[in-house]
Amino acid sequence: MGLIFYIIEYTLIVIFASAPLFYGWFTKRPWESALFGVFLTIFLYIPGFLEVLHLLGLQKILDSIVYGGASALFGGGAGYMAARGGLRHYIGAVTFVLLWAIILLSGIN
């Protein structure tokens, strides 16, 4: 039963990580795709951040802002690069998605 939950969990992570890439790939609108990647990441992190905000000190709050900001930039970069088209841009978009997933997984304790 535990294996099924791990498969579902990693599938959801891949879907969230690759959503800006596919959005940019299909729409071909770079700035709209970048905003989609940024806002998707922000809306993914805000509920958890607000839930524990009163428990954190100033250093943890700043760490969380840097963590979320870096992740949002990689999500936006993936959407922007995928919307630009071309093999070079798609490779860059996939790199941003991988970095986004690494940042997400590094923040899970």
The tens digit of pLDDT for each residue in 60-77 reads 878 888 888 888 899 999
What integer is the mean pLDDT of 29-37? Answer: 92
Question: Per-domain residue ranges for the chain?
Answer: 2-106
Residue 71, amino acid: S
* pLDDT at position 55 over 80: no
DSSP string, 22-83: HHHHHH--HHHHHHHHHHHHHHHHHHHHHHHGGG--HHHHHHHHHHHHHHHHHHHHHHHHHH
Name, in order, each residue with C-beta under 8 angstroms of 97's C-beta and a sequence gap of 6 or more.
Answer: 17, 18, 20, 21, 74, 78
pLDDT tier for residue 7 given thresholds of 50, 70 and 90: confident
State the residue for tokens 């949002």.
72
